[in-house]
Amino acid sequence: MSIRTIAVATTAAIVIGAAGYFAGTAFDPSGAAETATETAAPPAEATTVAQLSAPQRQEVEGIIKDYLATNPGFIRDYLIANPEVIRDAIDELQRKQEVEDQAAQVAAISDNRDLLFSSPRQVVMGNPDGDVTLIEFFDYNCGYCRRAVADVQQLMADDPNLKVVLKEFPVLGEGSMEASQVSIAVRILAPDKAGDFHDALLAQSGQVNAEVALAVAESLGLDRAALEETMVSDEVRDTIGEAYALAQSLSLTGTPSYVTATGVAIGAIGYDALKEKIATARAGCATEVC
């Protein structure tokens, strides 16, 4: 988070707090609030900014601006005396941003439902007719993707109604792009071997590229020349372009990233967290495609 964001969040917290204080307290221009006598009636419930009318809000804002203009050290002194305000403001800003991001991602899932769950440009593992789908965006050079293979395999073994969809998302350099091109060529030429190729290439140690990917494909009985011709085809290019467009609409920032009908999870979150997200998607599924 940038210093500018912190400053904005902090100032907003202070102004909102000050507005609530001044709105519920008789303000004395000298800086002292009116004091209650022992015989005064109990104070009324505090007024919040949201309860003020537009003219009242403008009046409060004017009082605050005048006070800050004549007391320029107020914010600094307040922060020194109450440093937790910065933390609380940043936490609240982050919470609101996360809520907004999640809502935007859910909307993007709905808007791109066909391409996410039913595109012909993807590899399907597990039960192709399963009642719930787990989509994984991955990169063959992603160490976390390699470690997460076992989680996905275990999920498929434990859940016979789980459909897993693989989306090529090469984001880690030229080698990753080459490996994805070979992978898509395998899917085009030998779709029945696409899953085995995926697992075998992710099992490789070190950086992978076209040469490594082609060697893995050859070990599965595929023709190298046919793969090299196919990997530069328009269909391969369009497959990667489709995945990039989906990732952008979902605000995916890394690999692996997982998508269900009800949400997005970024990172290798582990077996238990994935199982929970699958259960949530299954419980909330209201359509045939979930």
Output the DSSP codes for the chain. Answer: --HHHHHHHHHHHHHHHHHHHHHHSPPPTTS-PPPPPTTSPPPPPPPPGGGS-HHHHHHHHHHHHHHHHH-TTHHHHHHHH-THHHHHHHHHHHHHHHHHHHHHHHHHHHHTHHHHHH-SSSEEEE-TT-SEEEEEEE-TT-HHHHHHHHHHHHHHHH-TTEEEEEEE---S-HHHHHHHHHHHHHHHH-GGGHHHHHHHHHT--S---HHHHHHHHHHTT--HHHHHHHTTSHHHHHHHHHHHHHHHHTT--SSSEEEETTEEEES---HHHHHHHHHHHHHH--SS--
Q: What is the pLDDT along the chain (290 residues), one digit of tens a residue?
A: 444 444 444 454 455 454 444 444 444 444 444 444 444 455 555 555 566 788 877 887 888 788 778 888 877 787 788 878 778 777 776 677 666 666 777 888 989 999 999 999 999 999 999 999 999 999 999 999 999 999 999 999 999 999 999 999 999 999 999 999 999 999 999 999 999 999 999 999 999 999 999 999 999 999 999 999 999 999 999 999 999 999 999 999 899 999 999 999 999 999 999 999 999 999 987 665 68
Domains within the chain, CATH numbers bracketed: 3-102 (no CATH), 112-284 (3.40.30.10)
